[in-house]
A and B are shown apart, each in its own frame.
Chain A
């Protein structure tokens, strides 16, 4: 076969196995291996997740009472601003791209690493540095104007706002470099025979995300640089008294930050698109449309930024095209949701924790997407903008979407990354406590907003107390439920069952190597014959070398193959 012949003769650059790095530092600290870098992203991301999550709990404690005064207002404003900034830039984006992307994507395309390992290393180390700078701003007066930091208030803001500019600028450079790296990797380093239509959907998602990362982030860099210059050198970009415009910031900021929300959700879509077929034991439904809609969402995502600015004072006629384009994005998103649903039909569904989180994702993300439609209609947004309705929408799509997707990814790929199984029962408990407490925490925020509670407030009117208390108490349960996950992760590392190469009998390439994979990923780069979703057929790869100590991992008929608990 031509492909096999081409494969057999290939002595390409990325076919070559370099010698194993020596020494603890080269292996685990300054490693060039995308898998190690991916794990480093996850560890740093987890740390910032804990910090940002605790900040959220401080917010909820303050909001237990209308006159909430456990913190001075300025400190409170810093708390929620860093909660949001931390979650967006130091948790979700790095973990979804640098974390899952680095670890899984090269394996999935049959590559040994990413295109530019040194760039990968450099981009990673900017991340914890940026995070430390961000959270250290508490020491000199945390930024207090939300994660959006609108001037003029942000120009006058506490000293920490300058640190915020620097931190986000740095993580922005990191993101841009990772975006470039992933784009070149996916375009140039796919295994022989892996055409774009044979690529797993997680890789499609990372490709769309990398495009966004690469193009949108430098617009944010521009906005941040201008804010920095105005704060530090009094250079007037946003100051109306000298001809500047507060709206200029909003345009520049949202031109990045709307694509940013797609950067946060597209990888989750990709994870869900892998988890559903694996645990329904059938192909993902509508592969081509899901792949196409990822690109469509990425492109449309560049054209809708001013739907965050309907009340801002921009020319009223501008509201119309942004409103309509935002509504249009509902169509490719809906296509994905229906495709996932149809993947369940006719399946043999196994309710592993990864699948539970994927199903939970489907419920809450659909809900969050629908409230997004509400916000897209200008007349309704005039009422809902800047209220807790928006806070509710944000958390349904970011927590319910990205974080649930990330949880699904953790349960799915933990065995591959660590060589240990997680406890299934604990995973189920984690899911149900998270799912239920999540909904009780964020659902009431919808009507709190509709009835008149604005966002970013340290105090609120007494009539809102009952529902705020419901949200707060549920949020404590939500925080506690994360402990179940941490306990599961810890005990798995210490005494978890050894994981086989393919505990889920999945079909993408990462499952054909040992758990964890060798540093070179594949002994020989396989050739790819078909897309990976045809369960019941032999794996569509040739030239795979099975690791010596692993038994045959291909699906077998007959007696039970003990693979998962």
Chain B
């Protein structure tokens, strides 16, 4: 019986450590380029979750790239170093090693740790997604073969194929379908939810970058699935206000006049809970959630008396609710740091009655 002798094991092989070093350096360099890659240059990060999602993508790219480079790198290196030479006997055999418990342990532990890290980061970002701000502008999108229908609060007729939302306003979007399964995907927002008949899914996001983006259907829905696209416009507050006012006008809808003395504090309290409590508490000015606390507008010495510089009254409150507030930058032309964006009345979908009720409620708090 033939018994060929296996070659002896001489360390890890010629050039193993230099190659390992080279691969590690290559990984470090590629990882650097991954980290600094400006994704937003190729695909804008137009809304709040996009940054988080891109971060996770880069994290996975760094790890995935490292695995790939090591696997392919070692493979090519081994193929070169351990190739059969023409001078070898035809039945020459390799080093007869079956396993290495310690090596196998390490290549189980390290990937497990990487998977654990990935799971932790993914879950954290998942939780962030679940806790996304929303509810300031609540609207609906309904998929149909082969167009999108958008319904805005208090706007009687739907709008087709052009969806406008104001920048800086947390949006809650309920999506469903009236026929087959469609999907609502804005690549620039990185969010996608299927539009399923008989079911409503809810997206929450805060648009951050003004621009025109794409709404794309990614769930096969029939003959013209490939052409089912719509436009998403993230407008400035003012432009959005103009657009939605135009929609109201075109549909012949006008609201009643603003009557601050008829405000109902109880109704205002309920509205506050639905819309404003996402960003405002009813504590003192310094108790911030996103915006400052509004519980002591008339008697909190820390309150900066916006709008007129004089102590707060119902007209001042109504002014902010109607126009929104973006800090001294856009109020009375005074320079100063930006304090974020308080949406205007269209973004908040407030009627004149709502404004009166809210003013009455806020003034009733002491």
User: What residues make up the interface of A, taking CB atoms closer than 8 Å to B?
Assistant: 73-74, 77, 144-146, 150, 152-153, 156, 240-241, 245-247, 280-283, 285-289, 311-313, 316, 319-320, 323-324, 327-328, 330-331, 334-335, 337-339, 341-342, 344-351, 359, 362-363, 366-367, 370-371, 373-374, 377-380, 382-383, 385-387, 450-452, 454-461, 505, 533-538, 554-557, 560-561, 563
Contact = CB atoms under 8 A, between A and B. Distances in A.
A372 to B, nearest CB: 10
Interface in B96-126: 96-100, 103-104, 107-108, 111-112, 115, 118-119, 122-123, 125-126
Given A283-B96, A283-B98, A323-B126, A348 B82 contact: yes
Given A312-B196, A538-B3, A323 B181 contact: no
B226 interface: yes
B321 interface: no
Interface string B66-110: 011001101100110011100011111111111110011001100
B122 A323 contact: yes
Contacts of B83: 348-349, 351
Which of A281, A374, A387, A460: most chain B CB closer than 10 A? A281
A535 B4 contact: yes
B4 A247 contact: no
B201 A313 contact: yes
B198 interface: yes
B63 to A, nearest CB: 8
Nearest to B95: A346
Given A319-B126, A344-B78, A380-B57, A287 B99 contact: yes
Contact of B192 (A311, A335, A457): A311
A280 B75 CA distance: 12
Nearest to B187: A452
Contacts of B118: 327, 373, 377
A283 B93 CA distance: 10
A152 B145 CA distance: 12
Contacts of A246: 181, 196-199
Contacts of B53: 379-380, 382-383
Which of B91, B126, B130: most chain A CB closer than 10 A? B91
A311 B175 CA distance: 12
Interface string B160-194: 00000000000000000001110101010011111
Contact of B97 (A283, A377, A556): A283
A73 to B, nearest CB: 5
A349 B192 contact: no
Contacts of A341: 71, 74-75, 78
Contacts of B56: 377, 379-380
Contacts of B94: 280-282, 346-349, 535
Ranked nearest first, the 6 interchain pairs of A and B with the lowest CB-CB distance are A240-B198, A386-B218, A457-B226, A346-B95, A282-B94, A347-B94
B182 to A, nearest CB: 10
Given A240-B198, A311-B193, A312-B194, A535 B64 contact: no
B52 interface: yes
A311 B218 CA distance: 10
Contact of B60 (A373, A460, A534): A373
Nearest to B66: A370
Interface stretch (B5-13, B23-31, B263-271): B5-13
B225 to A, nearest CB: 6
A288 B108 CA distance: 14
B97 A380 contact: no
Contacts of A150: 181, 219-220
A524 B75 CA distance: 41
B53 to A, nearest CB: 5
A452 to B, nearest CB: 4
Nearest to B111: A334
B222 interface: yes
Contacts of B7: 346
Contact of B3 (A286, A342, A386, A537): A537
24 contacts: A77-B220, A144-B220, A144-B222, A153-B180, A241-B198, A288-B99, A323-B126, A341-B74, A344-B82, A346-B97, A347-B95, A362-B71, A377-B118, A378-B126, A379-B53, A382-B193, A451-B187, A452-B214, A456-B226, A536-B3, A536-B6, A537-B3, A555-B91, A561-B91
Contact of A152 (B90, B181, B227): B181
Contacts of B216: 452, 454
B34 interface: no
A452 B118 CA distance: 25
Given A74-B223, A331-B115, A535-B6, 12 more contacts: A245-B198, A281-B93, A286-B99, A328-B115, A341-B75, A346-B97, A348-B92, A363-B75, A371-B64, A385-B192, A387-B218, A554-B1
Contact of A374 (B57, B78, B194, B197): B57
Contacts of B13: 345-346
A533 to B, nearest CB: 7
A377 B2 contact: no
Contacts of B6: 282, 535-536
B49 interface: yes
B221 A153 contact: yes
B133 interface: no
B129 interface: yes
A245 B181 CA distance: 11
B181 A347 contact: no
Contacts of B43: 450-452
Nearest to B122: A377
A448 B207 CA distance: 24
Which of A240, A323, A379, A382: most chain B CB closer than 10 A? A379
B17 interface: no
Contacts of A450: 43, 187
A175 B129 CA distance: 41
A378 to B, nearest CB: 5
Given A344-B82, A383-B187, A281 B92 contact: yes
A536 B78 contact: no
Contact of A347 (B68, B78, B197): B78
A146 B84 CA distance: 46
Given A328-B115, A555-B4, A320 B123 contact: yes
A145 B221 CA distance: 8
